[in-house]
Amino acid sequence: MATLGQSFPRASRLLTGHEFSRVFDENRRKSSTRYALLLALETQQPQSRLGLVIAKKNIRFANQRNRVKRIVREYFRCNPLSSSYDLVFLARRGLGDLSNEQIRAQLNELWRKLDKPSRVQ
């Protein structure tokens, strides 16, 4: 059982296909590395929400997909962004082969790029 502060409540998740589609279609901010892509749509919600797209095509084994999901959710909880966003995290081929520390470094880079002030408004 998760302790307080270590859960991933429904209010922090993108739940429906419509919510995912909105981020895919209307995103204004993107951040990418060789192993992952983060799409963001700024919202008026009180907190950011996260959706994960971890395709079997890109990360073959279920245990690797689950590990990646756990690490991404943990990073999302522990590293809030300066604005409220609906985020979609897409894993690219090879992400599952990285160590936990390397995945966190990828996430750190994605968050850093996304949290930069936008040049185009």
Q: Evaluate whether residue 62 is within a structural domain.
A: yes
| Domain of 91, in residue numbers | 10-115
Q: Evaluate whether residue 4 is within a structural domain.
A: no
Predicted confidence (pLDDT) per residue in 63-118, tens digit: 999 999 999 999 999 988 888 999 999 999 999 999 999 999 999 999 999 887 65
Does 2 have pLDDT greater than 50? Answer: no
Q: Evaluate whether residue 121 is within a structural domain.
A: no
Instruction: Supply the pTM of this predicted model.
Output: 0.87
Q: Evaluate whether residue 120 is within a structural domain.
A: no
Q: Which residues pair with 89 in a beta bridge?
A: 38, 52
Predicted confidence (pLDDT) per residue in 46-69, tens digit: 889 999 999 999 999 999 999 999
CB 59 within 8 A of CB 65: yes
Q: Evaluate whether residue 43 is within a structural domain.
A: yes
Q: Evaluate whether residue 5 is within a structural domain.
A: no
Task: Give 41's contacts (C-beta < 8 A, 6+ positions apart).
Answer: 22, 23, 26, 27, 28, 29, 85, 86
Overall domain count for the chain: 1
Question: Residue 82: which CATH number?
Answer: 3.30.230.10
Give SS3 for 40: strand
